[in-house]
Structures are given as C-alpha cells and as structure tokens.
Amino acid sequence: MKKKPVFWIILVVVIASIVALAVLGRRYFINMYDGSYYYAMVPIDYDVTPQRQTGGPTNRFSLDMGYEVRFELSAYTEEGEQRTLIFVAYDLDSEFNLGEDIPYPGAFLRINASREMVLGFTIISESDIPERALEMIRQGN
C-alpha cells in the first residue's frame, strides 16, 4: 500500500520538472531570439577596414576565419530609447562590398537585436527611420 504515495510523489516531481524546463526554455528563447528593431547611423569617420580573423589557441593551429568589420554603435528604438549594440559583419575574403556585405560610413541601419545579441541588420534610407529615433541619432552623431 505504500507504493501508491511514492508513485504520486515521483509523478508530481516529473511533471514539475517538465514545467520548469519549459519555462526556462521559453525564457532562453525570448532572451536569445525574440528581437526588437533599433535604428542607428554608422559615423562618417568609422573605420570599416576588414580585419583578418583567425581561430585556434595558437598561430600554429589557427584556422582561416576570413575577414570581419566590428561595429559598436549607439542605436535607438522608435521611442528614442538608447542602447549600445555590438555586432560583426564578416566574409571569407577581403572583397567586402560596402552597402551589401558591410555598412558604409554614413549608412543608416535597422538592427534586429534580442536582449543578448544582434540578430541581423539592414541598410535603410533616412526616410525609413521613425521620427523620434532619427532625432536621437542626429543628437548622438
């Protein structure tokens, strides 16, 4: 007769564990992949020279990782809330096409960013930026 309470205790623990994992998984997904749009402008004097990137612990074992340009920009929501976003544009060769592979100095960007990372960016025209965000960009640059 003591086996029935043990069964129910184990069942409750298993169900509680599944619910906890589902909640944590959903929170992880939202933090990593649920993005919001931010707007930014690459400063006119920003260095967009591609830098060679290698991987591995030493040069002896390094891998060719191609070229990248690292961006660290002040970006703004439609309401004008500021956030610093860091992201990398990369390619396997040094033949970056300004305006296609990487943003050029003076380019306006719509950046999709989650709480944890930048998910992507698009080069847009100044007229596509919401008024409040554009006002904040002009004040910041």
Give the CA-trace dihedral at 22, 27, 29, 35, to 10 degrees: 150
The reply to whether 119 and 101 lie within a common domain is: yes
The answer to whether residues 13 and 41 belong to one domain is no
Low-confidence spans in the chain with pLDDT less than 50: none
How many domains, in total, are found in the chain?
2
Q: What does the pLDDT read at residue 60?
A: 54
CB atoms within 10 A of CB 97: 9
Q: What is the pLDDT of residue 34?
A: 81
* Residues 65, 118 share a domain: yes
CB 119 within 8 Å of CB 34: no
Model pLDDT, residue 56: 53
Best CA proximity match to 138, nearest among 36, 72, 43, 48: 43
The Cα 140–Cα 72 span in angstroms is 13
Which range marks the domain in which residue 25 is found?
Answer: 1-34
CATH number, residue 61: 2.40.50.480
Does 60 share its domain with 110?
yes
3-state secondary structure of 48: coil
